[in-house]
Amino acid sequence: MKDPKTLRNLTQGHIFERFDGELTHLHDVVLSMGGLVLQQLSDALTAFQSQDLHLANQVRSRDLDIDRMEVAADEEILELIARRCPLGPDLRVVITVSKSVSDLEKIGDEAVRIVSLMDQIARDAEGSIPQPVKTEMERLGSMALKSFQNAVELLDAWDEAKAFRVIDSHREMDGEFQSELRRLIDYIMTDTINIGMAVGMVLVAKSLERITHHAQNLAEYALFEVKGVDIRVKQP
């Protein structure tokens, strides 16, 4: 069976083995960062759904680790470009890693934003969040988490069908966000929830919609890295 296309095996075969090692290390950095951010998002959603303040604080405290990883990756990329002047597929690897770590850091920020909205929502909920609202937010969270998980997996093992599912998921999530906004307005009109809680929920839903957008970016970067095709110019 032919090995799957991955960033790792696309960085092998240079005359200078050290260059192979440098590119492979960049691959390991982005995978490590992707795994940490994926855990951040999963924990943020769990904390939000269960109103677990201890877990929310853990998400906040780990955000600095993600920021440090982005800075370290940027420094390593600049040094590699200055030292090796990569071209062709090697340059695509470097560009992919550079753009990916930026989007991963932004997803980490959205995870922190979600847990930071917990206090406002809990205060405005006056004791509890209506179950229909909670169920809908859990569904949106699961969609965003799955989309991001698939995007992270693409960085390690290329799957074209999965890539296009991730890209299409952003359009689906945008439609779900608009539907959720209309439902929250209906809840306000029927006095099911107050305006303050509705605003908090809209902000959380918007964070989830942005996460799927960043996941879409990651899938597009992986497509560019493997095939050299920038799909952004081909999308409506």
State residue 15's pLDDT score: 41
- At position 136, the amino acid (one-letter code) is E
pLDDT of 1 > 50? The answer is no
CA distance 128 to 51: 10
CATH number belonging to the domain at 9-231, selected among 2.60.40.3710, 2.40.110.10, 3.40.50.720, 1.20.58.220: 1.20.58.220
Q: Determine contact, residues 141/208, Cβ cutoff 8 Å.
A: yes
Lowest mean pLDDT among 19-33, 57-71, 73-87, 149-163: 19-33
Largest CA distance in the chain: 70
Average pLDDT over residues 204-230: 87
- Residue 3's region, left for phi above 0, alpha for psi from -120 to 50, else beta, is beta
CA distance 100 to 220: 10
State residue 101's pLDDT score: 95
Average pLDDT over residues 165-185: 84
Closest Cα to residue 157, out of 35, 2, 8, 34?
A: 8
Question: Domain segments of the chain: what residues?
Answer: 9-231
What does the pLDDT look like over 105-120, one tens digit per residue?
A: 999 999 999 999 988 8
Higher-confidence position of 72 and 175: 72
